[in-house]
Amino acid sequence: MNKDTLYLIRHDFQDNGKTYYCPGCAELVGLLEFYPALKQHLEIRWVDFARPRPELVTLLGEENQSCPVLVLAFEPANLPAHLKVQHANGHAFVADAREIGEYLAHVHGIGLPH
């Protein structure tokens, strides 16, 4: 893995007979539209809503298959102490749209979430 990999849930998924989208994933899709150059620095993978999500389970374990999640190619030095980088199965990752946005701001120099 040379780039950080962003996992997002496909929109228009079905649950209990209704059609949904993931608000956190939509927030990050919007961030990628605000800062399109980020797409060159990230691998973006779309997963289905249904669990288990095999690729994430393999990487991070069953307990860490929520989306959005950013799996890091490597863990940068000098990240702010409050930024929540988690670890599982030998991988570092950032979960939650706002945390991912803050990570991307510090690593790629884009605006911070407010």
pLDDT confidence band for 75 (50 / 70 / 90)? very high
At position 54, the amino acid (one-letter code) is P
- What are 76-110's pLDDT values in tens digits? 999 999 999 999 999 999 999 999 999 999 999 99
Position 82, amino acid: H
Confidence of residue 1 (pLDDT cuts 50, 70, 90): low
State which H helix or E strand residue 87 sits in.
Answer: strand 86-88
pLDDT band at 62 (very low <50, low <70, confident <90, very high): very high
38: DSSP letter? G
Q: Cα separation of 65 and 89, whole Å?
A: 13
C-alpha 38/C-alpha 84 separation (Å) is 20
pLDDT in tens, 3-25: 999 999 999 999 999 999 999 99
Whether the model pTM is above 0.85: yes
- Determine the residue type at 15: D
